[in-house]
């Protein structure tokens, strides 16, 4: 059987199985299982372990449910230079994953591939088990319903109210008016903007606009939230408040992937993971606090201080 076989939505039946295999697969061979099936399951388990070892990301939860999987992904925008070069990584359900690296490292490109704003040149990408390389154009809106995106420049409708901006996501999914009103107010309470629902977005501060952008991203209950430099233009205090919002969203079970230059931010989320990119290549990955501590030690030692 082809392990990358897909259904019409591009969902891979076999690649999703090994990383989130039912307990029976892991705890030995069920009694009546055909030996060929048992061998196949063993092979899938080995494959899953190898993928996690390659990506360098160890999961703390025993029931891994992969949300985002990249295998040897390359992205070139036309020229010889790769914006991403052989990137392999996994983010599981409930992970808080930072993507960091200097300007031009490929952080935004990585996020764009995940929500299908760009297509990988080579490699495999799966989002919630959907194989993006095989996803038909008609399947893209279905995929995007699973993902909330917070853009660096907010991309809000400045001449519309806070309520309208957040409600728009729900309107396009055809939700009834009463549901939209209840849901938008609930989300605005979460982000602390319930008193400003009738304000025009263009009259809000940068931090408030970022809150609206976050509210809009989570309004339709996505399973993944992607955020590109969400604190890029904010002062320290507001940055911490925005980070706390992402942590709250993550505590509710949503996988959060946050691209940032701000290394201080990365140490502030216990249990978070990090991927460091440089010139399109993954140079380190793992538990954020450990990876960042190792990088700092390396940098100090290379400056001759140690």
Ligand X SMILES: Nc1ncnc2c1ncn2[C@@H]1O[C@H](COP(=O)(O)OP(=O)(O)OP(=O)(O)O)[C@@H](O)[C@H]1O
Contacts of 231 (CB under 8 A, 6+ apart): 210, 238, 239, 242, 243, 260, 262, 265
Minimum CB separation from Mg ion for residue 261, in Å? Answer: 9
275 contact partners, CB below 8 Å, separation of at least 6: 57, 89, 97, 98, 99, 100, 282, 284, 285
Provide the token pair at 203.
Answer: 């009259």
- 179's contact among ligand X, Mg ion, none, with CB below 5 to 8 A by partner kind, is none
Q: Which is nearer to ligand X, 139 or 232 (CB)?
A: 232
- Choices 96-104, 142-150, 156-164, 207-215 (CB under 6 A): range interacting with ligand X: 96-104
Question: What residues numbered 98-117 form the site for Mg ion, per CB under 5 A?
Answer: 107-108
Least Å from the CB of residue 83 to ligand X: 3
- Strands (E) across 35-132 are located at 66-76, 82-92, 96-100, 122-127, 130-131
Q: Name residues whose C-beta falls within 8 Å of residue 290's C-beta, 6 or more positions apart in sequence.
A: none
Strands 122-127 and 66-76: antiparallel
Work out which of 83, 113, 156, 219 binds ligand X, going by CB under 6 A: 83
Sign of the CA dihedral running 84, 96, 5, 145? negative
Distances (CA, A) of 60 to 50, 64, 92, 261: 17, 9, 10, 25
Contact mark string toward ligand X, 100..139, x via CB under 6 A? -x-xxxxxxx------------------------------
Site string for ligand X, 58-77 (x = CB under 6 A): -------------------x
| Least distance between ligand X and beta carbon 109 (Å) | 3
Nearer to ligand X, 41 or 107 (CB): 107
Sheet order of strands, 130-131 included: 82-92, 66-76, 122-127, 130-131
- Give the bridge partners for 131, in sequence order: 126
* Chain centre distance of CA 167: 23
Residue with smaller CB distance to ligand X, 221 or 281? 281
The residues in 224-283 that bind ligand X, with binding defined as CB under 6 A, are 261
Q: Which is nearer to ligand X, 108 or 169 (CB)?
A: 108
* Residue 109 contact partner, candidates Mg ion, ligand X, none, CB within 5 to 8 A by sort of partner: ligand X
- Tell me the number of residues near Mg ion by CB under 5 A: 2
Q: How far apart are the C-alpha atoms of 125 and 133, rounded to whole Å?
A: 7
Site track for ligand X across 142-181, x = CB under 6 A: ----------------------------------------
Minimum separation from the CB atom of position 266 to ligand X (A): 14
Q: Which does 83 bind (CB under 5 to 8 A by kind): ligand X, Mg ion, none?
A: ligand X
Residues forming contacts to ligand X in the complex (CB under 6 A) are: 77, 83, 101, 103-109, 261
Residues forming contacts to Mg ion in the complex (CB under 5 A) are: 107-108
């Amino acid at each position: 059987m082809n392990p990358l076989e897909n259904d019409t939505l591009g969902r891979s039946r076999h690649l999703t199985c090994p990383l989130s295999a039912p307990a029976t697969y892991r705890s030995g061979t069920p009694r009546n299982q055909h030996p060929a099936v048992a061998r196949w399951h063993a092979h899938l388990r080995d494959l899953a372990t190898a993928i996690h070892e390659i990506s360098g990301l160890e999961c703390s939860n025993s029931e891994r449910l992969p949300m985002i999987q990249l295998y040897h992904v390359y992205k070139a925008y036309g020229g010889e230079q790769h914006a991403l070069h052989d990137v392999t990584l996994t983010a599981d359900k409930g992970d808080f994953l930072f993507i960091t690296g200097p300007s031009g490292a490929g952080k935004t490109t990585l996020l764009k591939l995940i929500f299908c704003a760009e297509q990988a040149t080579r490699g495999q990408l799966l989002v919630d088990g959907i194989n993006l390389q095989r996803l038909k154009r008609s399947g893209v809106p279905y995929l995007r319903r699973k993902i909330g995106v917070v853009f660096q420049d907010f991309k809000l409708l400045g001449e519309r109210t806070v309520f309208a901006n957040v409600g728009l996501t729900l309107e396009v999914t055809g939700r009834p008016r009463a549901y939209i009103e209840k849901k938008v107010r609930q989300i605005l309470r979460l982000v602390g903007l319930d008193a400003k629902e009738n304000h025009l977005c263009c009259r809000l501060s940068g931090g408030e606009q970022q809150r609206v952008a976050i509210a809009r991203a989570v309004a339709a209950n996505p399973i993944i939230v992607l955020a590109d430099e969400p604190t890029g233009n904010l002062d320290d205090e507001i940055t911490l408040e925005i980070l706390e919002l992402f942590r709250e969203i993550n505590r509710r079970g949503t996988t959060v992937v946050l691209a940032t230059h701000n290394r201080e931010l990365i140490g502030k989320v216990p249990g978070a993971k990090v991927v460091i990119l440089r010139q399109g290549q993954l140079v380190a990955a793992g538990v954020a606090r450990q990876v960042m501590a190792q990088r700092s030690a390396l940098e100090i030692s290379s400056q001759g201080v140690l």
